[in-house]
Structure formats: structure tokens, C-alpha cells
Amino acid sequence: MDKCDLDIEKQEQISRGKRIKYIRENELHMNKTQLAKYIGISSQFLGLVEEGRGNLVYKSIKKLRDLSGHSADYILYGLDDTVINKTKNLLNEYSNTEIEIVMDIIKDIAIFIKN
């Protein structure tokens, strides 16, 4: 890994830490101790993560994802997850049978387009 790759990785880690801090303070309205306990780490380590000097493991990311409602892609990379949330909300209005019928129609359309 060259210096440029390391610089990019460090910037991503710093951005990720800022995102996690923003979620904690502005969306979850929790202090470090509360969130750290919930996701299974120490508040000191959470502080390092928020400063861009540490990374969460899968288990902690999953717990943060479940608590915040954000996708792992958003937490890790900042990718917009509003489409996912809008889709989940929209699908809640329909039964599983209705969703399966529409998925079959979408598959048929995809096959038609390919041919």
C-alpha cells in the first residue's frame, strides 16, 4: 500500500468517526458512555473511533446500524441510505403476498429487457 492509499484510508477513517459522532449526538442524543455500552465497547475507545483513530468491529457496527436505522454503507462510507429507508417505509404498507407479486413482475420485465 503506497502513501496515497494510506492517506485516503486515514481520511475515510476520520470521516467515519465524524459520521458516528454526528449520529450519536444529533440523532440518537446519547453521550459516549451510553452509546459505547449499547454497542459493546468502552467510551474511551468510542472516543478514539470518533477522532478517526480507531475502527469498530462488525458486531459494533451492526448494533449501531440497528439502533440508528442507518445502513452499514452509510456508517462506513457515507453512502446515501435515504432510498433504503424510503423503500422500507413504502413496503411496510403492503403485504408479503403483494410484494412477492410485484417482484415477479419486475423479474419478468428484466427478462424481457435482456431478450
* pLDDT tens-place string over residues 6-33: 788 999 999 999 999 999 999 999 999 9
CA distance 55 to 48: 8
> Which residues have a Cβ under 8 Å from the Cβ of 33 and sit 6 or more positions away?
43
Task: List pLDDT tens digits, range 84-95.
Answer: 778 888 889 999
Q: How many Å apart are CA 61 and CA 75, to the nearest integer?
A: 8
Long-range pairs of 72-78 with CB within 8 A, sequence gap ≥ 24: 74/19, 75/16, 75/19, 75/20, 75/23, 76/16, 77/12, 77/16, 78/15, 78/16, 78/19
Confidence of residue 1 (pLDDT cuts 50, 70, 90): low
Weakest-pLDDT range from 45-49, 84-88, 95-99: 84-88
Residue 74 pLDDT > 90: yes
- Asked if the model's pLDDT at residue 42 lies above 80, the reply is yes
pTM of the model: 0.71
